[in-house]
Chain A
Amino acid sequence: MEYAIVFLPLLGSFISGFFGKNLGGKICQILTSSFISISAILSIFIFYQVVVEDYSSNKLIFNWISSGDFNVNWSINIDPLTSVMLVIVSLISSIIHFYSIGYMSHDPHKSRFMAYLSLFTFSMLTLVSADNFLQLFFGWEGVGLCSYLLIGFWYKKPSANAAAIKAFIVNRVGDFGFAIGIFLIFFFYGTVNYNEVFEQTPLLSNHEIIFLGIEFNLITLICLLLFIGAMGKSAQILLHTWLPDAMEGPTPVSALIHAATMVTAGVFLVVKCSPIFEYSQTALNVVTAVGMITAFFAATVALVQNDIKKIVAYSTCSQLGYMFFAAGVGAYHVAIFHLFTHAFFKALLFLGAGCVIHSFKEEQDITLMGGVWKKIPYTYSLMIIGTLALTGFPFLSGYYSKDAIIEFAYLKGNTIGYYAAAIGIITAFLTAIYSWRLIFKTFHGKFNNKDNNLSSIQESSLIMLLPSCLLAIGAILSGVLFKEIFIGQDNLNFWNDSILFLQTVEHAHPPNWLLLLTPIIVILAIPVSYYLFIQNEKILRNFLLKNQLLYNFLLKKWYFDELYNLIFVEPIKKIGLFLWRKGDINTIDKYGPDGLSKLVKNISDKAVNFQSGYLYHYAFVMLVGFSILLTYLILY
């Protein structure tokens, strides 16, 4: 069964990729979608077994690399954490496969698209079902590859190609840290298998090492390096720049990869490695700090963006920040719970955005939309559900997970915990504002689009709406239904030893004002944003005119791209050119082979003069030589 879950998507991808031309797009779509669906059903079944009877298994496929002590296997490892991830990945993926049938109906490269999607699912499944760091790394780079391929799917668009490369390379920077983390683990543990590593961690927790001239605690260093990898994949601040650009890809891709699954791999990594992270408070603090800064940063940027997908992308970034600071304060299970609910409502928001874009004939700027909520009621209501769930409106899924994060941060009881809780609440407010801004600008107010008539705006096809409805159900119910299992009183029964809590997590009741604060803010934000964005736009406009600098700072996303361009991209190009022109051509070649051959030529040119052909020249040289020899013999 485990084999089927993991390898059916690969099979689908293979068939669709290689025989797509012969089979035709339609068959490929149905084939891959049904393969993934089977995989999803089996995953749910496994999840059920895990919940009910604590099922777990480790299936060895075959040996991958064995070199001396370095032994790594291909395997499928099922534990509670993996089973949750399997469900998320395969379920969302199958829904998005079906949605893609509608979304890509006019694209000539259907089979290629489905092949990539399925290949992505396969990579993601190998990532979550690994029992060692190297297979994780395989999946990790594999999903990066698929993300690259899918972002650049419309290869004729230069911007899409640039975004694809950017995504891959920024991720590589993260992977660089990750890889060094793996080297370090192997060096000190002599293995890269999770269980063996986790078992030895307590023994090594006081080990200090010198790394590149700086003294570190070994565990802290390993955690930080792994976290750099996680930051790259999960688009945390400093390594986040690729995610907004990744929106160049088709919308189903954004929903599946850049919202629901791949970007959560970083969170998964941190939670999976909780047995290591728990032994380093420093690393956990870093995780918390990075998480909360990202949550706040991305929310501020999302406030002013006008591209519908970019807003949702920054929102993803921000929510990932929440997950990280949850993990950072030791509430790993809440992080995963938020990951779980987020997958539904964020995928829903993206699919809804996709429907909007479809209705507006490829328009993505929300300032060029508006006033269409009556024309596309289904899309509208789907987006509303997604937004409510995202903002944490009471009793929808986001409410349970996000509030739990804030509560746990507060209950942590130390300074960084309080900071995190405060930032969490502020960000929740910002989230509500930008989300409702999106809704109001897109669906309410005046119709601003010049390319389309209001009457030509149409609802999307059923094959796009139905999968979205499934997600909407998830967005509403996933919180209330799974709350008890994931973060309830007896959650340890479920998680078993797949997550390690060194300190038992407080389940004490947080103060009532905290419990009420966030929902109230979130609800209040609705009328506030309606007032600001629809009723009285003047206030905002005046405010922006007065604070041009701040506005530009946010609009330009805190100038990260410009900065990176300035300090990395341009200098590297210049250095490359310099080394080539000055180093290779003007130094090595000039003084090396070319210089040498010139030297030889010069000398031989001169030497040629010796052979003048005149007898008296030779006779003279002979005489000189003879006299020197004679002098030498006489004197010594």
Chain B
Amino acid sequence: MNFPILSAIIFIPLIGALFILITKGNQKNVEKNSKYVAIFSSIANFLLSLFLWFSFDTSVSDFQFVEEKKWIDGFINFQLGIDGISILFILLTTFITPVCIFSGILSIKYKIKEFLIAILVMETLMLGVFCSLDLVIFYLFFEGGLIPMFLIIGIWGGPKRVYSAFKFFLFTLLGSVLMLVAIISIYWITGTTDVVKLLDIKISQEYQYLLWLAFFSSFAVKLPMWPVHTWLPDAHVEAPTAGSVILAAILLKMAGYGFIRFSLGLFPVASDYFTPLIFILSIIAIIYTSLIALMQDDMKKLIAYSSVAHMGFVTLGIFSLTKQGLEGSIIQMLSHGLISAALFLCVGVVYDRYHSRMISSYGGLVNLMPKYAFVFMIFTLAALGLPGTSGFVGEFLVLVGVFQKSVIAAVLASLGVILAAAYMLWLYRRVIFGKIGNTEIKKMVDLNKTELYIFASIVFLTLFFGIYPEPLLNTINVSIDNLIDKYNANINFHIAQTNN
């Protein structure tokens, strides 16, 4: 591969950000130009990643489009490459970023230039996470993402933004420090941080447990898993709409991706050992947060809690280590990326118009905003996993997979599906249906053209992949097979070793 397409995808947003940074002139022109630059670079990047998807060979299990540059000789190589799993996350990222940019342009009222820079830098960092094949590089991108997110919440957030931003930062950083230690010790044990090489190295059992826990502490916070989830509702509530969208759609997925790529790939024995722990935490997360979601009176908090429940399905699926479970959890992550993004945008739409996130402020919106009501309905249904939406495919496959490992876990998780229907429909009813309770909202107008196009595109994807998820499943098929084969071989190897 001559053209470094992955580097291009990673750095196009950064270049866009630099352009925005150096634009000078009067305020108005600068803002206008920076908007164009941001839109252009993010959409160009999306198209480029689509091209990447088309030229991706789904029948090969090795990493593709690999690029390697020496950075610190013998220690860190700037190594990039993708397989069937990462490419879908790249697509999700490049799709969601323009959405965020449009949403930001519509709703952010001050420091728009800086905001766009933050989003574009964020995109670069997130893409880096999904492409990097070196632990140190991965770590840099993974943690680097904290900074723009911290700024987005801290600068453009709501009244309690500083508290939320610090809570977010503290929680995630605490987990990550342990991961950094783990990465250093991996280098110390194996002499490399090259993921491709590491995947073939069998680390001894005792180390695996510790290393797994260190990685787990970082991923569990980011995902988030119960009981380290409490930063998420606060962060969402205070973040501006675009921030919430990025957070829910992509940032959380980096942890799920990390679990699949590193926890399963590098520490299979430990993963096997800790599976019950993950199952228990995930089940608690699903039921606990669903119950809490039921009682929320803040729309964003409700959706944030539902995100925690949905991510519970993801971890269940990943650690079921079955084909259906793993594929389901990836579909679930992608579809949650679309659906939660859309739901936060839905909240953003009414927040922009009336500046309240409280459910009780609204009611009867269908009378004023029929298009909005329709769009919201679709995403409500997708969130509760109605067949025909992408949410169903993910959830169902996960449950099919989990059922093969633990019947009780599958049964309890299915209870969460009932609760999801309860809290989503109740939310919808209180916001959309009924008579107009609050006379002040009578001025609210329906979706404008830009909003409609954004929503239409997400609606289309949600339904399309609900009815025909084949393109996604086909892309990950070989990579997942490869992952499971390697995992099982590894486990068997260790069993054989302990028997000797």
Contact = CB atoms under 8 A, between A and B. Distances in A.
Interface of A: 62-70, 74, 134, 137-138, 140-142, 145, 148, 152, 155-156, 158, 161, 164-165, 168-169, 172-173, 176, 179-180, 183-184, 186-187, 211-212, 572-573, 575-577, 579-580, 583-584, 588-589, 592-593, 596-597
Contacts of B404: 187
B295 A573 contact: yes
Contact of B387 (A67, A141, A152, A161): A141
A145 B366 CA distance: 18
A165 B429 contact: yes
B295 A156 contact: no
Interface string B199-215: 00000000000000000
Contact of A575 (B291, B293, B364, B469): B291
A583 B289 CA distance: 10
Interface in B292-325: 292-296, 322-324
A579 B285 CA distance: 12
A321 B426 CA distance: 31
Given A212-B407, A579-B288, A593-B171, A573 B418 contact: no
Nearest to A583: B288
Contacts of A597: 166, 170
B407 A67 contact: no
Interface of B: 166-167, 170-171, 227-228, 230-231, 233, 288, 291-296, 322-324, 327-328, 364, 366, 381, 386-388, 393, 396-397, 399-400, 403-404, 407-408, 410-411, 414-415, 417-418, 421-422, 425-426, 429, 432-435, 467-470, 473
Contacts of A588: 227-228, 230
Nearest to B397: A67
A142 B388 contact: yes
B366 to A, nearest CB: 6
B422 A169 contact: yes
Contacts of B328: 67
Contact of A155 (B293, B323, B434, B469): B434
A211 B410 CA distance: 12
Contacts of B408: 212
A580 B304 CA distance: 13
Interface of A is mostly: helix
19 contacts: A64-B468, A68-B324, A69-B323, A141-B386, A142-B388, A152-B433, A179-B399, A179-B414, A180-B414, A183-B399, A186-B403, A212-B407, A572-B291, A572-B294, A573-B294, A580-B292, A580-B295, A589-B230, A593-B167
A158 B417 contact: no
B418 A169 contact: yes
B470 A593 contact: no
A358 to B, nearest CB: 24
Given A187-B403, A212-B407, 14 more contacts: A67-B473, A68-B322, A138-B387, A140-B387, A161-B434, A165-B422, A168-B421, A179-B417, A580-B295, A584-B233, A592-B227, A592-B228, A593-B230, A597-B170
Q: Decide if the interface of chain B is mainly helix, strand, loop or mixed.
A: helix
A584 B400 contact: no
A155 B408 CA distance: 39
A579 B470 contact: no
Given A165-B425, A580-B295, A65 B393 contact: yes
Given A572-B294, A597-B170, A137 B473 contact: no
B386 to A, nearest CB: 6
A579 B292 contact: yes
Contact of B470 (A66, A140, A576): A66
Contacts of B417: 172, 176, 179
A489 to B, nearest CB: 41
Contacts of A161: 429, 433-434
A156 B435 contact: yes
Contact of A577 (B295, B414, B434): B295
B295 A155 contact: no
Contacts of A138: 387-388
A542 B381 CA distance: 51
B323 A68 contact: yes
Contacts of B227: 588, 592
Nearest to B429: A161
A577 B294 CA distance: 8
B468 A579 contact: no
Given A176-B414, A593-B170, A70 B295 contact: no
B268 to A, nearest CB: 19
A184 B231 CA distance: 37
Given A63-B470, A70-B324, A180-B414, A145 B386 contact: yes
Contacts of B386: 141-142, 145
Contacts of A575: 291
Contacts of B415: 176
A173 B421 CA distance: 10
Nearest to A63: B470
Contacts of B414: 176, 179-180
Contact of A172 (B170, B407, B418, B429): B418
Given A70-B324, A187-B403, A576 B292 contact: yes
A198 B418 CA distance: 29
B231 A593 contact: yes
Contacts of A173: 418
Contacts of B400: 70, 183, 186
A145 B382 CA distance: 12
A165 B426 contact: yes
A184 B418 CA distance: 19
